[in-house]
């Protein structure tokens, strides 16, 4: 499998030379400075591609776009959406013209991945991302004061939430809001409480069924362009895979993934298979899901989580946690062999070590939450070892 690394652009304190030292050769990147809904110009794409590939001794290439964002208006499904669809199609054509053909995107309303603690301690002094159900409930019920929020939380979680809120300082509440906003990757759409209430109100009539219909419309609009220029689109699962702040989630379970793929028959309508996101939902069998949807997986995020009965979860070591990552890797390597034997030129699946603990010298450095160098390096090394062993034992191509 192609070893890739999410790199945040020229201002990332983790340099391209550092990335090469990890063993990765594929770069996962996006033009985060461009607001959602605007065109990624061919000139801007080519400039970023040239920057990534300028030092030939590194042997790097821009392998995957993560993400080409979908404007919130498309998810809501109202108003004149034609300019937004036109811009998205233009961006896809421009990416293809620059030789980039793998695009990750998500259809999560308002928020991207969501955590309540971005520096939860791990043994030895490292730090990890965590979703505490009671802190999320405290935010939803007592800070956001969303109508009907109490009904979405178990009584014991609400009790802990009230205790946390009553004992919290304004600094605690500000930190919780900042943590919840930390998953938004670009420079735009950071919400305070009033603005978050405003955007949530725009989604008040968007049920799961309607959101799925709006995703179907989006796919109908962009898939012909993908087929024309050879772009593979992989939708990222919901993170966490549960309704959030009253917002529906439609990419959280095996049935959800099947429904997404049924919305459009193009083989380019596919998945970003994220073991951490899907692994946080009880009942999801990740190896079985990978096997069922193997031929529609375009990109892979490999990480692990440890779940708690109340809905909380902690980002675990890549080979720790609840997900059988070895079994998932076996499925993916077998799928690679099938693609190679079928004569597909792009038979290698790109994957990246998703998230990682802050460890050693990375603790406290201004990296993006979940994206320190050493924790991801550790994850990549562990996963690389698993892949090498499985490939040798089963005679599979790496």
pLDDT tens sequence across 282-297: 999 999 999 999 999 9
Distance CA 301, CA 382 (A): 14
Query: Using CA atoms, how far apart are residues 309 and 312, in angstroms rounded to an integer?
Result: 7
Residue 203 has pLDDT above 70, yes or no: yes
pLDDT at position 246 over 60: yes
Residue 263: pLDDT above 80? yes
* CA distance linking residue 1 with residue 36, whole number of Å: 30
pLDDT tops 80 at residue 339: yes
Is pLDDT at 187 greater than 90 in this prediction? no
Cα Rg for the chain, rounded, in angstroms?
20
Q: What is the mean pLDDT of residues 150-155?
A: 97
* pLDDT of amino acid 186: 56
**Sign of the dihedral defined by the CA atoms of residues 15, 17, 21, 24, in that order:** positive
Q: Which of 71, 101, 301, 318 is catalytic?
A: 301
Specify the pLDDT at position 183. 82
Instruction: Write down the residue that tokens 């939860």 correspond to.
Output: 120
Given a contact cutoff of 8 angstroms between Cβ atoms, the answer to whether 251 and 107 are in contact is yes
**Is 236 a known active-site residue?**
yes
Q: Inform me whether the pLDDT recorded for 189 exceeds 70.
A: no
- Rounded to the nearest integer, the mean pLDDT of the chain is 96
For residue 67, whether the previous peptide bond is cis, meaning omega lies within 30 degrees of 0, is: yes
Catalytic residue among 236, 256, 298, 318: 236
- As a whole-number percent, the residues of the chain with pLDDT over 70 amount to 99
Options 256, 298, 355, 357, the catalytic residue: 355
Which tokens go with 230?
Answer: 């050879």
370: its two tokens:
């979940």
Among 88, 354, 357, 362, the active-site one is 354
Residue 190 binned pLDDT confidence (cut-offs 50, 70, 90): confident
The C-alpha atoms of residue 67 and residue 115 are separated, in whole angstroms, by 19
368 is catalytic: no
The reply to whether 105 belongs to the active site is: no
Give residue-wise pLDDT tens across range 125-139: 999 999 999 999 999
* H or E stretch covering 333: helix 325-341
Over residues 98-126, the pLDDT tens digits come to: 999 999 999 999 998 999 999 999 999 99
Question: Catalytic annotation on 274?
Answer: yes
pLDDT category of residue 318 using cuts at 50, 70 and 90:
very high
Render 111-140 in DSSP notation, one character per residue: -SS--SEEEEEETTTEEEEEE-HHHHHIII
Q: 10 Å Cβ neighbour count for 5?
A: 26
- Structure-model confidence comparison of residues 63 and 182, the more confident one: 63
Active site residue 104: no
Write the pLDDT tens digit of every residue in 159-175: 999 999 999 999 999 99
Task: Convert the pLDDT of each residue in 40-65 to its tens digit.
Answer: 999 999 999 999 999 999 999 999 99
Catalytic residue among 274, 298, 318, 362: 274
Mean per-residue pLDDT, 181-189: 69
pLDDT of residue 188: 54
Query: Whose CA is closest to 71, among 61, 62, 80?
Result: 80
| Whether residue 354 lies in the annotated active site | yes
Structural domains of the chain in order of their starting residue, each with its CATH number: 2-114+201-394 (3.20.20.150)
pLDDT at 394 over 90: yes
């Amino acid at each position: 499998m192609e070893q890739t690394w999410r790199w945040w652009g020229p201002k990332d304190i983790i340099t391209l030379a550092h990335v090469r030292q990890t063993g990765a050769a594929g770069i996962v990147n996006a033009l985060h400075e461009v607001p959602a809904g605007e065109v990624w110009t061919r000139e801007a794409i080519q400039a970023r591609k040239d920057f990534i590939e300028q030092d030939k001794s590194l042997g790097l290439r821009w392998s995957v776009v993560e993400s080409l964002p979908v404007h919130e208006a498309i998810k809501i499904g109202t108003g004149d959406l034609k300019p937004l669809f036109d811009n998205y199609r233009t961006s896809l054509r421009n990416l293809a013209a620059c030789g980039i053909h793998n695009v990750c995107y998500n259809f999560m309303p308002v928020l991207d991945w969501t955590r309540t603690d971005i520096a939860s301690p791990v043994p030895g002094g490292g730090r990890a991302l965590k979703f505490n159900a009671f802190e999320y409930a405290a935010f939803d019920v007592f800070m956001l004061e969303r109508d009907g929020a109490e009904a979405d939380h178990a009584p014991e979680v609400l009790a802990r939430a009230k205790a946390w809120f009553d004992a919290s300082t304004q600094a605690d509440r500000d930190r919780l809001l900042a943590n919840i906003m930390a998953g938004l990757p670009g420079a735009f759409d950071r919400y305070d409480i009033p603005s978050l209430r405003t955007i949530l109100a725009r989604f008040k009539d968007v049920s799961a069924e309607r959101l799925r219909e709006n995703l179907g419309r989006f796919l109908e609009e962009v898939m012909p362009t993908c087929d024309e220029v050879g772009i593979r689109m992989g939708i990222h699962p919901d993170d966490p895979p549960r309704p959030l702040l009253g917002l529906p989630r439609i990419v959280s379970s095996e049935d959800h993934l099947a429904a997404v793929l049924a919305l459009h028959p193009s083989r380019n309508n596919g998945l970003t298979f994220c073991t951490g996101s899907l692994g946080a939902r009880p009942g999801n069998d990740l190896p079985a899901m990978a096997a069922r949807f193997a031929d529609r997986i375009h990109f892979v995020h490999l990480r692990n989580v440890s779940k708690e009965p109340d809905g909380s979860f902690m980002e675990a070591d890549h080979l720790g946690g609840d997900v059988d990552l070895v079994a998932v890797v076996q499925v993916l390597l077998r799928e690679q062999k099938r693609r190679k034997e079928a004569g597909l030129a792009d038979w290698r699946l790109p994957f990246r070590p998703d998230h990682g603990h802050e460890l050693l010298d990375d603790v406290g450095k201004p990296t993006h939450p979940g994206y320190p160098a050493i924790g991801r390096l550790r994850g990549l090394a562990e996963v690389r070892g698993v892949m090498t062993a499985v490939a040798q034992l089963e005679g599979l191509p790496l």
